[in-house]
């Protein structure tokens, strides 16, 4: 007879007092298998603890307790990215013939929603069954984006599955692309790099990019290239294979075009990450059409984790479920437009497990 999972415990506590009066909270979600913590700064998935094949738990996200770092070099660690994840070329969008200049983040693009993005904001939080709901109001014109936007991010835990669900509504036509930006190291935080992790991506193409990381031209097949993770292989193997695209970012920082999934259907698997040493596995399922994989190529050891480790290149890997980069300028891509009376919805499931 199958023993049902223990109900998820949900606890709220003040976050580190170094928040300098920001009034931050930490929410802990605990099942009989894993534990996750979420903080109200950036609606961030802050820690994630799971057992290895021997049942020994370890915290598997890159993180820091330093609020100053979370507002600086670690500003994207685990956060809900918005209003628009990834890059928008030329820092502008056009909707219904009206041009909207966006605040730039450098290199001729607006990245992850602008210089004062959702990752810097303190979200409101409330308990929901098996989890916590975060809410943020983004005013009309925020970072240049039109429309007042209300965003809700739900984190719910059921057994070994953590589900992140997004919802948004707007007062004017706008564009929305939300994701979570957690960095994973399944060996455990601070325990080496992720180059030996086995990665599988359920995608047959990428969106090739220029030197600004902006897509150009048609989708590019991955078969036989450094981007071919249609079957499991170590991340280092792909990097060693070499590819002109890898020179642009000194590693992986690219969007895979996921295989077609049912419209308005449940999340479908996008990727599988596995650490041979510990046996930990992570399945990522999503309703989104793309997956941005970033191997922390630009990490400069300025962020210190709880283990005392300074994070350098390849200390973790981000698996960002989202729409394709620069979709507002790419009419052939799935649309990211949101209009009054419509509701943006998206879900991603992080399913933790072990392999022999």
Q: What is the pLDDT of residues 295-325, one digit of tens each?
A: 999 999 999 999 999 999 999 999 999 999 9
Structure tokens at 11: 């606890």
Please give the domain boundaries of the chain with CATH numbers for all domains.
9-354 (2.70.98.10)
pLDDT above 70 for 20: no
User: What pLDDT, on the 0 to 100 scale, is given for residue 2?
Assistant: 47
- Condensed to tens digits (0 to 9), the pLDDT of residues 260-274 reads 888 788 999 999 999
Structure tokens at 153: 């991010």
pLDDT above 80 for 120: yes
- What is the distance, to the nearest Å, from the Cα of residue 211 to the centroid of all Cα atoms in its chain? 22
> Which band of pLDDT confidence, cut at 50, 70 and 90, is reported for residue 22?
confident
Q: Which of 35, 112, 320, 323 is catalytic?
A: 320
Instruction: Give catalytic status of residue 98 as yes or no.
Output: no
Q: Measuring CA to CA, which residue among 213, 197, 139, 228 is closest to residue 317?
A: 197
pTM confidence score = 0.95
Q: Vertex 23, ends 20 and 29: CA angle to 5°?
A: 120
CA dist 191 and 256 (Å) reads 27
Instruction: Give catalytic status of residue 320 as yes or no.
Output: yes
333-338, Cβ contacts within 8 angstroms, sequence gap of 24 or more:
333/289, 334/289, 336/84, 336/175, 336/176, 336/177, 337/95, 337/173, 337/174, 337/175, 338/147, 338/168, 338/169, 338/170, 338/173, 338/174, 338/175, 338/176
Q: Mean pLDDT for the chain?
A: 95
Known binding site for beta-D-galactose: residues? 86-87, 181-183, 253
Q: Which of 181, 197, 243, 254 is catalytic?
A: 181
Average pLDDT score over residue span 30-56: 97
Residue 62 DSSP class: -
Question: Which residues neighbour 93 within 8 Å (Cβ) at sequence distance 6 or greater?
Answer: 99, 100, 102, 145, 175, 328, 329
Structure tokens at 172: 């004017």
User: What pLDDT, on the 0 to 100 scale, is given for residue 162?
Assistant: 98
């Amino acid at each position: 007879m199958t023993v049902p999972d223990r109900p998820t415990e949900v606890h709220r506590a003040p976050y580190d007092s170094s928040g300098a009066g920001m009034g931050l909270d930490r929410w802990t979600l605990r099942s009989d298998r894993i534990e996750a913590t979420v903080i109200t700064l950036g609606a961030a998935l802050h820690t994630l603890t799971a057992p290895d094949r021997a049942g020994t738990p370890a915290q598997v996200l890159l993180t820091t307790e330093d609020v100053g770092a979370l507002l600086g070099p670690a500003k994207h660690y685990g956060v809900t990215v918005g209003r628009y994840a990834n890059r928008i070329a030329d820092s502008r969008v056009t909707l219904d013939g009206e041009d909207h200049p966006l605040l730039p983040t450098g290199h001729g693009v607006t990245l992850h929603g602008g210089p004062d993005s959702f990752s810097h904001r303190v979200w409101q939080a409330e308990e929901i069954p098996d989890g916590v709901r975060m809410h943020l109001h983004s005013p009309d014109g925020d970072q240049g984006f039109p429309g007042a936007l209300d965003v809700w991010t739900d984190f719910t835990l059921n057994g070994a599955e953590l589900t992140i669900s997004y919802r948004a509504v707007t007062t004017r036509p706008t564009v929305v692309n939300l994701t979570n930006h957690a960095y994973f190291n399944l060996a455990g935080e601070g325990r080496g790099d992720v180059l030996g992790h086995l990665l599988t991506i359920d995608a047959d193409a990428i969106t090739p990019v220029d030197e600004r990381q902006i897509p150009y031209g048609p989708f590019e097949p991955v078969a036989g290239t450094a981007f071919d993770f249609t079957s499991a292989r170590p991340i280092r193997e792909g990097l060693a294979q070499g590819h002109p695209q890898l020179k642009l970012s000194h590693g992986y920082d690219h969007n895979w075009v996921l295989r077609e999934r049912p419209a308005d259907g449940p999340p479908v698997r996008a990727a599988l990450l596995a650490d041979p040493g510990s046996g930990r596995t992570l399945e990522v399922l999503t309703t989104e059409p793309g997956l941005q994989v970033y191997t922390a190529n630009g990490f400069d050891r300025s962020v210190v984790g709880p283990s005392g480790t300074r994070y350098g290149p390849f200390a973790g890997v981000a698996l960002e479920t989202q729409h394709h980069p620069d979709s507002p300028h790419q009419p052939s891509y799935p649309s990211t437009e949101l209009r009054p009376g419509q509701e943006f919805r998206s879900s991603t499931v992080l399913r933790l497990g072990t392999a022999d």
